[in-house]
Amino acid sequence: MREQTVLILGGYGGAGKALAELLLKETKLRLLIGGRNPAKAEALAFELNTRHSCHRVEARTLDANRPETLLPVFKESRLVIIAAPLGESLLSVLRVALESGTDWLDLLFPPDIPQKLQTYEGEIHKNEQVVLTQGGFHPGLPAVLVHHAAACFTRLERAVVALAMNARFPLTESLHELLDEITETRLAVFRDGIWRSPVWKDLRSFNFGPPAGTRKCYPMAMTEMQAIPEYYGLRETGVYAAGFNGFVDFLVLPLIYAAYSLRRGLGRKALSRLFCWGINTFSPKQEWVVIRLEADGEENGKPKSISFSLNHEDAYFLTAAPVVCCLLQYLEGTIPSGLKMMAHAVDPSRTIEDLQRMGIRIETDTN
């Protein structure tokens, strides 16, 4: 039974629900919906079992801040998907996974997560466990797109990824983490052989096509991209993100930067509420997410350019789909044990094919 059981920690959150829904469609797995609120977990389990005419979903009450509640459920599970922020509990939850022999896949986006997990890299290797970090689409897909594009060139010179979205944000702990990361200056621009911190002149415009159009984007740090120049000898790479709307970009974000310049985390809860309200109030009604890769290089001595655009209207679905693509490969045994970022563990071409099959719209342009 354990070999066919996956626990989703934070399973009744937005990303967790999307994951559970897609896993029921794509696999025969038994799913455990885990969280601190038993009523929410049980309600979702009932809803999913009813919708899919099955009995494969069960609820479990557990708390990441209380490791003793985790161990029995982890022992039931072949793999745990971390779909909720863990904060200071990260390593204690990983310890439970190591003790129970449970594999791990997280959707945690702070750039320092891989470095923190490296604390137990030796034990992970010794146990021959699979620990995959930073799944989803940001992080999770940018490096996959670069790996996929590289197969189209004999020499890849430049590969940049841009993100734009118009989505609604619930007020959750993940939003607090997002504000922390927005205000953190990190190495995000790679040009002429070095990574450096971005400045305002690094703003760039990308044409995302309708409905997003052309948007100004600012470099954002993404740990999975740090190794990309070494893979392919690139002269330029990075990830760029568009803003949200005028109210958030020109009023709320400057307020957040000003508060955090005085003390990191100052007014986090109030600013999170304002950020969430500004996005949900002033953004257009039509929701969409676009990820665009632009790559240049050579093929057999001739200049070549290629672009990929991935589109979907649901940010949670676009978060869940790459994770499910990864899990399909994991279940087939093609992902070896060890600690890896999801973007560097998966087969990129297989991932793109599965994303398209699941309903992600993909457009390709080659020159």
What CATH homologous superfamily does 2-136+316-347 map to? NAD(P)-binding Rossmann-like Domain (3.40.50.720)
Three-state DSSP class for residue 147: helix
DSSP state of 81: E
Number of H helices, E strands in the chain: 15, 16
Distance CA 250, CA 201 (A): 17
Query: What order do you get walking across the sheet with 130-133 strand by strand?
Result: 57-61, 30-35, 5-9, 79-82, 103-106, 130-133, 338-341
Architecture field, domain 142-315: 2-Layer Sandwich (3.30)
pLDDT in tens, the chain (367 residues): 788 999 999 999 999 999 999 999 999 999 999 999 999 999 999 999 999 999 999 999 999 999 889 999 999 999 999 999 998 999 999 999 999 999 999 999 888 999 999 999 999 999 999 999 999 999 999 999 999 999 999 999 999 999 999 988 887 777 777 777 777 767 789 998 899 999 888 999 999 998 899 999 999 999 999 999 999 999 999 999 999 999 999 999 999 889 888 888 888 889 989 999 999 999 998 999 999 999 999 999 999 999 999 999 999 999 999 999 999 999 999 999 999 999 999 999 999 999 999 999 999 988 8
The residue ranges of every structural domain in the chain are 2-136+316-347, 142-315
